[in-house]
Structure 1
Amino acid sequence: MFKNLIQKLDLRSIAFGALFFLIGLVVQAQSLSDIQNLKVDNLSDAQIEQLIKRAEASGLTVNQLEALARERGMPASEAAKLRQRINELQTAASSENGINAVGTGRSVNGNQEQYLFDSIRRSDPYYDLSPFQKKIFGYKLFHNRDLDFSPSLNLPTPQSYVIGSGDQILLDVYGASQQSFDLNVSPEGRVFLPNIGPIQLGGSTIAAATARIKTALGRIYSGLNGSNPNTFIQLRLGNIRSIKVSMVGELTKPGTYTLPSFATVFNGLYAAGGPNENGAFRNIQVYRDSRLITTVDIYEFLSKGNQSSNITLQDNDVIIVPPVQARIEVIGPVRREGFFEVKPNEHLDDIYIYTGGFQSSAYRDRVTVRRIENNQRKVIDVPSEEYSSFSPEDGDEILIGEALDRFVNRVQVTGAVNRPGEYSFEEGKLTVKGLVEKAQGLKPEAFSTRATLYRTSTDLTLAAESLDLRGILDGSVEDVVLENEDLLFIPSRYDIQEEYFVKISGEINFPGAYPYASNMTIGDLILRSGGLLQSATNSSIEIARRVRDASSGKIAQIMMLSIDPNLQLTEEEENLPLQPFDHIFIRRSPGFEREQLITIQGEVMYPGDFAIASANERISDVIKRAGGLTQFAYPKGATLVRRTVYFKGPTEEELREATLREIKDNLNPETNRNINEAEKLLFERIDKKLAQKEQERLIKEREQERMRIFESTNPRDTLFQDSTLNQVRITEQDLVGIDLQKIMQNPGSEDDLFLLEGDIIQIPKELQTVRMVGEVLLPTTSRYDKKNSLKNYISKAGGFTEEARKSKTYVVYANGDAKRTHNFLGLNFYPELEPGAEIVVPKKPQRNRLGAAGWIGLASSLATLGILVDRLLN
């Protein structure tokens, strides 16, 4: 920015030095033991960050830190401010890093620990400033890490530069003679020229030194002087010297600084961190040899770019920043709010130059000034004509109001017009008809019979006036003159009536509600909903129509209709057009049945799926269709797996969708052969239908999820929510015990069950084992021997355990049937065994034995009962 500067300063070291200095100033305030004395508004983001670090080092979370502050006496308002500042920092940090920052300030990235606020520190050049410091006009100038005050080394040697001890002077002689000299200024201020001797240059400017050297060299180079010289000289600086400047007063980092000799006042101020929050920005004094050389006004640079007072410093100069004498605060809609330093001769007009002027929303006719006078506060109203004469004083708060959010020439029109919105008007000249013309007329659906004019009264209450809009537009009714803030509402016919629709359900491709159209027939609605399914009947279509007269007791009017199978328009259909809200039911054809499949697994000649041929088809019939049993079949072990009422198989709609997907996959040109035009059109139709069904499924799933959440928060049936009971009660398939050997010997008997869809007949190979489970010492499987009884097999399993309930032992046969043990006169009669059977020995139930107190209670009850009986008998 400043091209007369020479040497770059190390911004990073200055920034970190400023940070450490600020932290050092508030280390006592940030101590957790003294947290109750914190003034949050005086802390910068960096200091808040250090406070969080201290809390984390002590093992405290953010919530615990706030609780600690309240416990130690921090006012509630300061604690709320602290919490708000921490939340703002964490929110900004989490958004910068894309992570959740609640409760902690650190995150692990690989093997390095990255502090969460690093990104904010890098992005905010004023991270180290408190909110109060940020509001001081000019304060940010010397604390912006992105602002470079480094001197430029590419500037030509200034003719006004004052030569001093340590400077390197490069002297070039050119023209008729050629010579170069490298001269160093001695501590006495002299340079030594060969063949000439010492020349005093210290304290001279470059221009004066050039003239002095030219005079001295004229004794050697005669072509230098005269009216027509042919030899010339050029004097320039090589390495410049360093100077020491003392920075004192209200500075962030006062002290003595070593600067390049090209440095200006601003370079020195930047090195010292600029004025602190109590320092003056408009009366910075530069002393040289105990004399005041100049006074620097930073505001002149910030507002006008004036650097006339930004002089080049010399060795041993002293820069003094005195305390601020008068500072005011400007609040309200100006371009730049904050604290501003004022001089005694300045007025409000001068202050607005520094604020950037009023915003468009500002109220400019008057400002309010709050002032402390005679140890009490007062308010001063300053009209706009006094801005140039009113002088602010120290501590004044200048409050700027906002313009009223009210229009003086606005009318509005909403509703069924082509261009609704706001329009201007002249008092007494715009009417309702003119406003409609401005809005380019009514829309076709406008309800022109009646409109409403909403008018704002003088007391800001709302009044409504009904208008005959049709009469106003055709001239049969007197027009109405509009006033300011009038709002004309013209409704649409659709806004004042229920949306018309018709519904169709049943055997149709896309059941649901569809928009009603006048003169629509049932055939039109069937076409609109994707056509009839193959299972639909066209001869018994039912129409449910709303009844307007509820006094008759009828809820709906039911009508029956037949349509042409090819959907050709018939006279009957044409004479019965649909009305709004009709519900059409497409019934299933009585003779339509979808194929029903059962499965045979195991030892038959042709296992697999079979379609049920008739409603009275039995197990023996389908076994014969499967080629009969094989020679290895074990009919007594055959089982039937049948669906229960809880079985949730695919619906007909899902089956149709699965079929469509199979067709689509077989027609997909990316995975199959090339398809012809007809197949391509079929592929596109199926793809469109599947996409529509997918959309309907998503809507249904969202509704089901909403209902599931509602039911989870509003339990209805405790029994239904018992998952353990439901696991037993609600099963989708049951095992039905059958005797296939008996069925095949007596087809059509009671044992020969009718088949149902989804039945699975399992016919195993001949079984040769018996399994023992439950309360036996060694649960195992043994070879079947018809000579062995149940107790023999229990012996092979090691016998009963002590917990075995022998009397309840039961046998599960291979076909799913079970038999229990019978008891007679204390003797157990165990069931017979067959190949593939399973012996189950249950466990004795746990019983709570009576303790001493229990026996005493029982004895007392018996004694009481005995006494009662005795008295009844006597």
Structure 2
Amino acid sequence: MSDEAIVQYVTSALAAGRTTSQIGQELISRGVSTAQINRLLGSVSKEGLVPSAQQNQVMKSDQPSQTYRQRSEYSEKSKVLLAGKGTMDEKKDSLKSKKPVPIYGHDLFTSRDLSFEPNENAATPQTYVLGPGDEVIIDVWGSSEVSFRQKISPDGRINVPQVGPVDLGGMSIKDARKKIAKAFGRVYSTDNVSLTLGQVRSIQVHVMGEVSVPGTYRLSSFSTVFTALYRAGGITDLGSLREVRVSRDGEQLATVDIYRYLVDGDTSCDITLHDGDVINVPPYRNLVTVEGNVKRPMRYEMASGETLDRLIEYSGGFAPEAHKSNVRVTRRGPDGQEVYSVKMDAASDFALCDGDVVGIDPEMERFSNRLEIKGAVRRPGSYRFGDGVTTVRELVEKAGGLNEDAFTGRAQIVREKEDLSLEVIAIAVGGIMDGSVPDVALKNNDIILVANRKDVEPKGPFRITGYVVNPGEYPYADSTTVEDLILLAGGLEDGASTVRVDVSRRIHDPVSTMPTDTLAKVFSFSIKDGLVVDGKPSFTLEPYDVVAVRRSPGYVEQRKVTVFGEIAFPGEYILVRSGETVSELIARAGGPTGKAYLKGGTLRRKSSDYENLLRQSMKTISESLHDTVEVKTDSTFSVGVEIDKALANPGSEYDVVLREGDEIVIPEILSTVGIQGDVLFPNTVSYIPGKKMRHYINEAGGYGERARRSKVYVVYMNGNVSSGRNSRIEPGCEIIVPSKPERQGLSAGEWISLGSSSASFAAVVVSLLNLLK
């Protein structure tokens, strides 16, 4: 086989769904080497048609490696490659732009779900004809028991010990059993003889014509015409499904119409093959396209003389929305396109031709006897025109009557005029229903629209805010009072003021001609036992009113603070008055214990909303200025306090005023000092009264190489900070020695840039000096 033939064979076989092991065996039987297969698949992969990973799957897997759509696309691209015309990009673009309408039934022999492989495990048909290569199993039982397995020789016989040769070739299973029983009866004294089929022979079948891979195939003797067509890769778009010819011994045996299987489910057309049979698929005769409103619009192959009604049957029948009275047929005539309008009662007499295009149009969305009513009626919808429903009153009564919220002053009839344009007719539906206005006659396809009073007279909701259980919006209702709305909102919440409830009303003056500076009207009320006790006695709310229930100025929630550490009664405390100080709280907590270290007392405070906003603003400003100062936005922060001085001087500036959430911690006495930062050995050492900072730094090994000695600072236990080497040292404090920033030398490029800048600057200076002379 040539390289071109091998590539076409492999692509077509993949499109047919055959496994790679089958393809390999068939190619080897045709004299193709494995090296040649690998080389050709590699060259196709380089053209971009098969990814390398997929190529490995093709060579190794025993299962089809692509879906039908992918296999078909691969096959088509391979054909374009072999055609040798144009660039690969041009051919790919042309393939993408052309999407032919599929032909009914042509995917039957390329689907992965249907293999048409014969079932060799089924019971052998009585009509099966034995031939050379078939294995028969003969069992004898009764007075004599023996079993024989014999394969029929090329001359059609078997040779059984003691029985001799028996000719079985060309006989059916039924006739062969009778002959074997008769032959064995002459030797064995029993009539209990059976013959069954063992291994079946293989046959060679020739598949020719419009198939993907024509050639000679070795198949099981149980194979049928469909099996052979599947093995040949299926029928091409030019092939016929209606006239597949089967020849045997030089004479045409049958013409297979595959539509009998597809449409009617008739399997009798799937003929069992014999050795040497020839299957020929000729080109189609008539291919007709069905478009529009049928259940299966596509192309269909029509036999000679088949008519339009049969085509509609092949396409699954009309879709529900199809216009069935007339069918449009477009046909290419000698002078151009011709159009036929065929009525369905004549469809059985209208024969179709090759290339015909049948179009099924949809029905027009029109009704011949419909009325419709929408809006504020009890049962809106469509009703039959006539039979006692011909006027507005009759239609409204048929729809259950008007709703209680219907706007009865005016309704509309939407009507089609003769030119299909629309007109609107106003009617007084309330007067028609009570008899004060004459009834109005309706026409076919009229639509009555009855408005809802809420739509015509929209009334906005109430809104209530402040100290109520469920603040929010509530729908408008007539005669609603402030008390009613508070009750709807779940009542007053704890802390609500009963002496101040405000109602804000929007300004609405439909006859005004000038703008006003007034933005709203405000009414204020007092409430006692849920009732308004001052203001207008019959005051009712209007649409869009906003009711605000204020917080009572005399309502104060408990404010909690906490004391930890060396205190007599540590725990949570409630502030008893505004402005309570640290000294007062510690006194209420029983005072400090004997182990308390008051100088080390700390105060942690929660950030208020204002403080959080202020710090966030500072952080934003710092970032916008590219400042290196870090602004902390923590939820809590430390307040520098001196509790010992606060207790010694109650009410002084040292006695900090407490607020909700404060936490006071009074530690026990510590006798150590910590040294951190740029020292040789950061350490914690014993506190010695009177010793200066230098002593403690020496206890940590002394300053480091990059220590900033002038910036040493001390952090005390109470949160205060002192800078300088002369800062006092107290028990529990931490000495921090910061580091100098690491210096980096200038690179060669920076030195050059600096030199250039200096030279430029020098030139400017010289020019200025010359000008000033």
For Structure 1 versus Structure 2, the TM-score category normalised by the shorter chain is 0.7 to 0.9
Out of 312, 334, 340, the position equivalent to 1:381 is: 340
Q: Does 1:454 align with 2:457?
A: no
1:491 Cα deviation from its structure 2 partner:
1.4
Residue of structure 2 aligned with 1:343, choices 289, 297, 303? 303
Question: Contact 1:599/1:609 (CA < 8 Å) preserved in 2?
Answer: yes
Per-residue deviation, residues 592-625 of structure 1 (Å, max 9, x unmatched): 2211122222222222222112224222211111
1:834 matches 2:730: yes
Residue in 2 that maps onto 1:466: 426
Q: 1:626 to 1:841 in 2, by over 3 A?
A: same
Matched, 1:637 2:600: yes
| Alpha-carbon distance in structure 2 between the residues aligned to 1:792 and 1:211 | 125
Instruction: Report if aligned partners of 1:18, 1:273 keep a CA contact under 8 Å in 2.
Output: no
Q: Distance in 2 between matches of 1:193 and 1:452?
A: 101
Do the aligned residues in 2 keep the contact of 1:332 with 1:400 (CA within 8 Å)? yes
Establish whether residue 742 from structure 1 lines up as the match of residue 705 from structure 2.
no
Quick one: which amino acid aligns to residue 380 of structure 1?
A: V
Deviations 1:789-821 (A, max 9, x none): 334444444555565554444444433334444
What do residues 826-873 of structure 1 show as CA deviations (whole Å, max 9, x unaligned)? Answer: xxx8344333444444555789999556666777788899999x99xx
TM-fit CA distance, 1:282: 1.9
**2:400 paired with 1:440:** yes
Corresponding position: 1:586 with 2:549: yes
SS of the residue 2:584 aligns to = helix
Would the aligned equivalents of 1:169 and 1:235 in 2 still touch at CA under 8 Å?
no
* Alignment-derived partner of residue 759 in structure 1: 662
Aligned to 1:33: 47
The TM-score, its normalising length taken from structure 1, stands at: 0.66
Determine helix, strand or coil for the equivalent of 1:435. helix
- Secondary structure at the residue paired with 1:494? helix
SS of the aligned residue for 2:19 comes to helix
- Give the TM-score, by structure 2 length: 0.73
Q: 1:319 and 2:319 equivalent? A: no
Q: In the aligned structure 2, how far is the partner of 1:609 from the partner of 1:720?
A: 38
Computed over aligned residues only, the root mean square deviation of the Cα atoms, in angstroms, reads: 5.3
1:31–1:411 CA distance, 2 compared to 1 (3 A):
farther
Distance 2:537 2:22 in 1: 88
* Compared CA separation, residues 619 and 392, structure 1 to 2 (3 A): same
The residue that corresponds to 1:125 in the other structure is none
Note the C-alpha offset of 1:483.
3.5
Describe the SS at the equivalent of 1:830. coil
Q: CA 1:415/1:308 → structure 2, altered by over 3 Å: closer, same or farther?
A: same
Q: 1:783 aligns with which of 674, 686, 690?
A: 686
- The 1:327–1:591 alpha-carbon spacing in structure 2 relative to 1, beyond 3 Å, is closer
Counterpart of 1:358 (choices 318, 324, 340) is 318
Q: CA deviation at 1:583?
A: 2.5
Q: Which residue of 1 aligns with 2:90?
A: 74
Deviation at 1:441, TM superposition (A): 1.8
* 8 Å CA contact 1:810, 1:841 repeated in 2: yes
Distance 1:515 1:402, change over 3 A: closer
Aligned-partner SS, 1:785: coil
Residues 549-582 of structure 1 show CA distances to partners (whole Å, capped at 9, x for unaligned) of 48674433333333334x4797989633433333
2:566 to 585, 603, 610: 603
2:69 to 45, 57, 77: 45
Check conservation: 2:638, 2:719, Cα contact below 8 A.
yes
Q: Distance in 2 between matches of 1:244 and 1:355?
A: 37
Q: 1:777 to 1:342 in 2, by over 3 A?
A: same
Residues 855 and 839 of structure 1: is their aligned pair in 2 closer, same or farther, counting only changes over 3 Å?
A: farther
1:8-407 correspondence to structure 2 within 5 Å: 15-16=18-19, 31-33=45-47, 44-47=68-71, 73-74=89-90, 77-78=93-94, 135-137=103-105, 139-140=107-108, 143=111, 145-146=113-114, 150=118, 158=126, 244-257=204-217, 265-266=225-226, 268-270=228-230, 272=232, 274-306=234-266, 313-372=273-332, 378-384=337-343, 387-407=347-367
Cα 1:786–1:293 change in 2 (3 A) is: closer
Deviations 1:372-424 (A, max 9, x none): 556x8524324226534443333333333333334344333221122222333
Work out the CA distance in 2 between the residues paired with 1:396 and 1:452: 50
Gaps of 5+ in 1: 1-11, 37-41, 55-69, 83-130, 221-231, 650-714, 822-828
Maintained 8 Å contact 1:368/1:379: no
Cα distance, 1:207–1:736 mapped onto 2, change above 3 Å: closer
C-alpha displacement of 1:492: 1.0
Question: Is 1:169–1:185's contact at 8 Å kept on the other side of the alignment?
Answer: yes
The answer on whether the counterparts of 1:167 and 1:237 sit within 8 Å (CA) in structure 2 is no
State how far apart, in whole Å, the 1-side matches of 2:678 and 2:121 are: 100
1:93 maps to which residue?
none
Distance 1:190 1:740 in 2: 123
Alignment of 1:768 with 2:732, yes or no, is: no
2:8 corresponds to which residue?
none
Shift of 1:639: 3.0
The alpha-carbon deviation at position 140 of structure 1 amounts to 1.0
Tell me if the contact between 1:446 and 1:492 (Cα under 8 Å) persists in the aligned partners.
yes
Q: CA deviation at 1:49?
A: 8.7
Give SS of 2:593's match. Answer: coil
After superposition, residues 512-531 of structure 1 pair within 5 angstroms as 512-531=472-491
Alignment of 1:353-752 (within 5 A): 353-372=313-332, 378-384=337-343, 387-425=347-385, 430-549=390-509, 553-565=517-529, 567=530, 575-646=538-609, 719=621, 728=631, 730-752=633-655
Partner secondary structure for residue 448 of structure 2: strand
SS class of match (2:260): helix
Residues in 1 aligned to 2:545 and 2:326: alpha-carbon distance in whole angstroms: 68
Structure 1 SS opposite 2:527: coil
The 1-side partners of 2:93 and 2:152 are apart by 64
Judge conservation of contact 2:258–2:269 (CA < 8 Å) in 1.
Answer: no
| Structure 2 CA distance for aligned equivalents of residues 78 and 742 of structure 1 | 94
**2:768, 2:17 → 1: CA distance?**
101
Matched residue, 1:704: none
In 2: Cα distance, 1:400 partner to 1:349 partner: 13
- In 2, the alpha carbon distance for the partners of 1:318 and 1:33 equals 37
The residue that corresponds to 1:119 in the other structure is none
Question: How many residues are treated as equivalent by the alignment?
Answer: 699
Cα distance change on mapping 1:754 and 1:393 into 2, 3 Å: same
CA contact (8 A) 1:136 1:277 kept: no
Q: Which deviations, in whole Å up to 9, do the C-alpha atoms of 1:300-333 show, x marking residues without a partner?
A: 3433455666555444333322232332322222
The letter for the 2-side match of 1:45 is R
For residues 496 and 629 of structure 2, what CA distance do their matches in structure 1 show?
37
Supply the AA of the counterpart residue of 1:33: E
Aligned equivalents of 2:763 and 2:152: distance in 1? Answer: 126
Q: For residues 167 and 565 of structure 2, what CA distance do their matches in structure 1 show?
A: 123
